[in-house]
Chain A
Amino acid sequence: MEEEKIRYLAHLARIQLSAEEVRSLNCDLSQLLDYVGQLKSLATEEVEPTNAVLPAYNRFRKDEITLSLPVEKALANAPDKMGDFFRVPRVITERKTNE
């Protein structure tokens, strides 16, 4: 794998990595992918994949109102809040006329 690839995966996972981390992850990942590559030797064309070990079926709850987490508890761990909301950096910016 190339370091460029690691940076792309980090972008997909929304995580910043230092140059040193990119280098060492690249080494680790090459080694791990070599190892897990052994699965390629198994013929699995006819095999169904396992998504869940228990048979999955839909379960409906009774249509009853139950208490949910109160707002103040849900906000108690917020790193930043305003009123009843989580506060984050501005997401919408004004469109510049020349764009």
Chain B
Amino acid sequence: MTIKKLAELYRKKKVSAVESVTGFYERIKEKDGSIHAFLSLNETEALFQARNVDRRIAAGEDLPVLAGIPLAIKDNICQEGTKTTCASRILETFTSPYDATVIKRLRENNAVFLGKTNLDEFAFGSSTENSAFGTTRNPANQDYVPGGSSGGSAAAVAADFACASLGSDTGGSIRQPASFCGVVGLKPTYGRVSRYGLVAFASSLDQIGPFAGTVEDAAIILKEIAGFDPADSTCAEVAVPDYPALLSGPVSGLKVGLPREYFGKGLESDVAGKIDEAIKTAKKLGVEIKEISLPHTTYAIATYYILATAEASTNLARFDGVRYGRRKTGSRTMRQLYEESREEGFGREAKRRIILGTFVLSSGYYEAYYRKAQKVRTLIRRDFEAAFKEVDLILTPTSPTPPFKIGEKVVDPLQMYLSDIFTVSANLAGIPGLSLPAGIVRDNLPVGLQILGPAFAEERVLCLAHHLEKELNLSF
């Protein structure tokens, strides 16, 4: 069910918000036992929100577009009064004392929050298998992962458990699961959306964005959550365009680049086939296709894992068992309290990243690893700056492969990291990226097309995505 359709049903009084929300919960209770998109449900408050919307519709009030629309929220975003666990034992009992800015803005729109969705612990992963509370299964084929880290939010939209959802993307955590689950996922420009109330993973890379069934719905959500926030000093003071209104703008004559580094070895032929079809469709729309080069692509994963783990090890220092979160009982000294609470609370991947991040920042290695990666980050940014002088947008596959099987990569951290190879560069460069469903391959597995744009050009990315979506006729 799209936001657009449901909002229309409400306005025509064909269905009430309470009926719709109740229906979503029924579907979740029937089917989420096997998919496990949600970590917690928020039924009492959601129905209260829905009743409020119905009352106002009955009173003839003119309501915002998201009024009564059921949404799912990744469990690393604070929503006052709900648990925010980050899928980690260390935050198992943590209740958000305030709303993240994105939640506050959606609340002002009278949106309904159904529940909090599963993720890799602290968003560390690409499959949702690193959750301390069990893995999420891909609704398209339950033997496969939904991608990650926002696997629960992607699966919730794919399984029609919510009209749309929020995720966070540090190295591909919105786009890759959107690709794997066959939904639309958008990582906005760094600074487009406030990060206040998002539990920080890598503060120079993190960005909140929407998952939706259609490009139009993603545009609707983005418009409501974007914009300056005094509570986040990295949030940009850049005007927010009317994204939904700009979707039908012209695409004929747009110059679109295909970076040759993304179409080489490692790209599975099934995926390449679907991307080729999308490229042909773009040509049919009058888009001019041009081969380009992003020469430092091959260094992106190494750069990303140095910077992201360094920032993560620093951000995770706050989980010390003192002010919130898990505390080991019986620790006799402060030192033991820190060390033992953290040992108990963090899972394997979190420990791996804390140790790697501590290493690259430690005396004697800082220059060779951390500083070096910051410099290569500059080279990667310059690649994009140069490319966007030649083209308006860039098209790539979102992931080199369709979804992989549950358990397939969990034992090999490097193989897992490499599954983000096409998505991490956008975070390093701070530019927006969207994953659009591009078709289905063997075993009913979805494939995603990634559209990258220059900083703060989301409307251009969304516009091409919207036109391609109509032609490809794949979204629901």
Q: 26 A–B contact pairs at CB < 8 A?
A: A10-B355, A12-B358, A13-B317, A14-B338, A14-B342, A15-B343, A15-B351, A16-B340, A16-B342, A25-B351, A31-B413, A32-B305, A36-B306, A42-B296, A47-B376, A47-B379, A49-B371, A50-B374, A53-B204, A53-B429, A53-B455, A69-B97, A77-B95, A79-B324, A89-B332, A89-B334
Task: Enumerate the 7 nearest inter-chain pairs by beta-carbon distance, A residue then B residue, closest first.
Answer: A53-B430, A49-B374, A77-B324, A79-B327, A44-B375, A16-B343, A36-B302
Given A12-B362, A16-B342: A36 and B369 interface contact (C-beta under 8 Å): yes
Q: Which residues of B contact A48 (CB under 8 A)?
A: 375, 378
B342 in complex: contacting residue of A15, A76, A79, CB < 8 Å? A15
Residues on A with beta carbons closer than 8 Å to the beta carbon of B381: 50, 53
Instruction: Please determine whether A13 and B299 come into contact, CB atoms closer than 8 angstroms.
Output: no
B351-374, CB < 8 A from A: 351-352, 354-356, 358-359, 362, 368-369, 371-374
Docked pose: A92 CA to B322 CA in angstroms: 17
User: Given B324, B343, B378, which contacts A47 in the complex, CB threshold below 8 Å?
Assistant: B378
A79 closest partner in B (C-beta): B327
Set B323, B338, B356, B369: member contacting A78, Cβ < 8 A: B323
Chain A residues with CB under 8 Å of B362's CB are 9, 12
B369 neighbours in A (Cβ, 8 Å): 36, 39
B339 at the interface (CB under 8 A from A): yes
Instruction: Say yes or no: A77 contacts B343, CB within 8 Å.
Output: no
**Chain A 42-80 near chain B by CB (<8 Å), digits 1 or 0:** 101001111111100001010000000100011011111
B302–A35 touching, CB < 8 Å: yes
Instruction: Bits for B228-243, please: 1 = Cβ < 8 Å to A, else 0.
Output: 0010011010000000
* Chain A contacts for B335, CB-based, 8 A: 14
Residue of B nearest to A76 (CB): B97
With A35-B302, A42-B379 as contacts: A89 and B331 at CB distance below 8 Å: yes
Interface centre among A39, A40, A53 (most CB of B within 10 A): A53
- Are the C-beta atoms of A69 and B98 separated by less than 8 Å? yes
A29 to B348, CA, bound (A): 13
- Seen from chain A, the residues whose Cβ lies within 8 Å of a Cβ on chain B are 6, 9-10, 12-18, 21, 25, 28-29, 31-33, 35-40, 42, 44, 47-54, 59, 61, 69, 73-74, 76-80, 86, 88-89, 91
A48 to chain B: closest residue by CB: B378
Check if B204 sits within 8 Å of A6, measured CB to CB: no
Give the Cβ gap from A35 to chain B, nearest Cβ, in Å: 6
Q: Which residues in A have their C-beta under 8 angstroms from that of B296?
A: 42
Chain B residues lying within 8 Å of A10, measured Cβ to Cβ, are 355
> Taking the nearest CB of chain B, how far is it from the CB of A52, in angstroms?
6
Give every chain B residue within 8 A of A73 (Cβ-Cβ).
97-98
The answer to whether residues A40 and B372 also contact, given A32-B414, A69-B97 and a CB cut-off of 8 A, is yes
Contact B374 A14 (CB under 8 A): no
Residue of B nearest to A73 (CB): B97
Measured in the bound complex, the distance between the Cα atoms of B373 and A13 in whole Å is: 21
Q: Does B201 contact A (CB under 8 A)?
A: no
A25 and B355 contact, CB distance less than 8 A? yes
Assembled-state Cα–Cα distance A31/B415 (Å): 11
Q: Which residues of A contact B348 (CB under 8 A)?
A: 21
In B291-349, which residues have CB < 8 Å from any A CB? 296, 298-299, 301-303, 305-306, 313, 317, 320-327, 331-340, 342-343, 346, 348
Inter-chain CA distance A80–B324, complex, in Å, is 9
Give min CB distance, B235 to chain A, whole Å: 9
CA distance A50 to B385 in the complex (A): 14
Q: Which residues of A contact B373 (CB under 8 A)?
A: 36, 39
Most buried by A among B191, B322, B428: B322
Among A13, A39, A42, contact of B355 (Cβ-Cβ < 8 Å): A13
Known: A17-B343, A36-B302. 9 other contacts (CB 8 A): A13-B355, A13-B358, A29-B359, A44-B376, A49-B371, A50-B374, A52-B234, A53-B204, A69-B98
Q: Is B190 an interface residue (CB 8 A)?
A: yes
Q: A42's closest neighbor in chain B, by CB?
A: B376
> Cα distance A44–B373 when bound, in Å?
10
Query: How far apart sit A53 and B427, CA to CA, in the bound complex (Å)?
Result: 9
- For residue A35, which residues in chain B have a CB less than 8 angstroms away from its CB? 301-302, 305, 414
The answer to the question of B404 belonging to the interface, with a C-beta cut-off of 8 Å to chain A, is no
Task: Check if B187 is an interface residue, CB within 8 A of chain A.
Answer: no
Note all chain B residues with C-beta closer than 8 A to A13: 313, 317, 342, 354-355, 358
Q: Digit string of B202-228 for contact with A (CB within 8 Å is 1, else 0)?
A: 001000000000000000000000000
A54-B94 contact given A29-B359, A31-B414, A88-B337, CB 8 Å threshold: no
- Closest CB in chain A relative to B192 CB, distance in Å: 10
Minimum C-beta distance from B109 to chain A (A): 23
The answer, among B230, B302, B455, for a CB contact under 8 Å with A38, is B302
